[in-house]
Structure 1
Amino acid sequence: MLRQTVSNSSRAVSSAVRAASRRTITARTPIIQTQLQAARAIAPQRATTRWYSSEPAKEGETTKTNGDEKPAANENGNGNAQESELDALKKKLEAKDAEARDWKDKYLRSVADFRNLQERTAREMKAARDFAIQKFAKDLVDTVDNFDRALTMVPEEKLNAKEKNEHVQDLVNLYEGLRMTESIMLETLKKHGLERFDPINEKFNPNEHEATFMAPMPDKEHNSVFHTQQKGFKLNGRVLRPSKVGVVKNQ
């Protein structure tokens, strides 16, 4: 009986103590929460607060920020680094400019060489076309000379005779046929650039004429052509064969 009474009393005391502690914790909870909120609001401000010096840091000194020491910036060092970097960029730019000028010079030279090549090729092609028949023309001029010799062998008195017998008329007809054949041949050769020239009464030109003999003639100008022994030929303006002439020499 006594034990049960004591047990009941201890249970009652324990219940009373637990209830009292719960009421105390419940009453203090809003206060604790308020304090925690205030601490959380103040903590970031303290973490971000820094104190700086208004004077510039000297070379070799350190700056303090909330107890942390940092080396001061070296103004001369930064300036030298920037200057060296700027010099390097300038040198690089100059090198690129020199390279660009070199390539431009090479390009202009290549264009000039190509244009010279085009012009030279055009001249060579034109010369090849103009003088392709040069060898053939040299062999052909002898035939033209034979026509000229044949025509000069006919006496003028027979050609101009008023009374012409059968034989003379045949000779005149042959002469006219040779003359017409020579004329047609010369016209055909002229279409291909081959022309015959006779320098009679012209001033002697050593580039076009070949003097076979010289003779004094008071009635003619000195160094002029008075006789044509063989007519010359030109192919597209170039002398294919010089004419053989007699030249006046009065001095």
Structure 2
Amino acid sequence: MAEPKNEDFLDSLANAEAEELADEMNEISSEDAELDSLRAERDMLKDRFMRALADAENARKRSEKDRREAENYGGSKLARDLLPVFDNMKRALEAATEEQRTVSAALIEGVELTMREMQNVFAKHGIEIIAPQVGDKFDPQLHQAMFEAPVPGTKSGEIIQVAAEGFLLHDRLLRPAQVGVSSMPAS
């Protein structure tokens, strides 16, 4: 009869070891699940961090671009408002006759100095004068055609008269040069 007790004992010992192994397997399995969960959370947080970093870098670049544009083009309204002043001073100098230049030499010199100073300030702030010449090719990116006329001895699309100079602020057009264009048909 001793044998059945041994057999029972061995069975119970085997069952106990099997239960212990099952518990360890469950524990390992739950640790693996927890580890997988932590890895997934880490990956998600890393992804969010990288996206936030990229967003911050994009915001920095965007604000730098906005700052540069504000620096370069922030005064465009003021510059545009000064263009008629420039035009009027230029017309005044062109309208002065030789007799008026002799009689009012100091006044004319003062207006010329003011014009040069205005041109220097324009250059300092990136304002460039577009001064087309008669005979130049019409460029719709820089010129505005005020009229077209058939003028003998010219080609179609040539500038035949300059009514007003144009202006660029850095690379942006403030005002196109106002010109007359030949519409002479090709012969």
- Give, in whole Å, the separation in 1 of the partners of 2:86 and 2:96: 17
Gaps of 5+ in 2: none
Question: 1:106 deviation in Å?
Answer: 0.8
Cα drift, residue 150 of structure 1: 1.9
Pair 1:170-2:102 in alignment: yes
User: In 2 relative to 1, CA 112–84 (structure 1 residues): closer, same or farther, beyond 3 Å?
Assistant: same
**Aligned residue in 1 for 2:157:** 223
Q: Is the 8 A contact 2:130 2:142 kept in 1?
A: no
Is 1:206 matched up with 2:131?
Answer: no
> Which of 127, 134, 147 lines up with 1:194 in the alignment?
127
Aligned positions, number:
178
1:100 to 37, 42, 46: 42
Q: Larger C-alpha radius of gyration, 1 or 2?
A: 1
Asked if 1:135 corresponds to 2:77, the answer is yes
- Equivalent residue number for residue 246 of structure 1: 180
**Cα 1:203–1:102 shift into 2, 3 Å:** farther
Q: Shift of residue 193 of structure 1?
A: 2.5
1:73 to 14, 20, 24: 14
Alpha-carbon distance change, 169 to 106 in structure 1, aligned in 2, over 3 angstroms: closer
Superposed structure 1 runs of 4+ greater than 6 Å apart:
none
CA offsets 1:45-77 (integer angstroms, 9 cap, x no match):
xxxxxxxx9xxx76xx215xxxxxx93232543
Task: Give the Cα–Cα distance (whole angstroms) in 2 for the partners of residues 149 and 235 of structure 1.
Answer: 22
Indicate yes or no: 2:48 matched with 1:86: no
- Give the alignment's TM-score, normalised by structure 2: 0.75
3-state DSSP class of the match of 2:14?
coil
For structure 1, which runs of at least 5 residues remain unmatched after alignment? 1-52, 64-69, 159-166
Measured against aligned partners, the alpha-carbon deviations of 1:127-186 in whole angstroms (never above 9, x if no partner) come to 22333333322221111101221233246xx5xxxxxxxx46616846555434322321
Let me know the Cα RMSD of the aligned residues: 3.1
Identical pairs, percent: 30
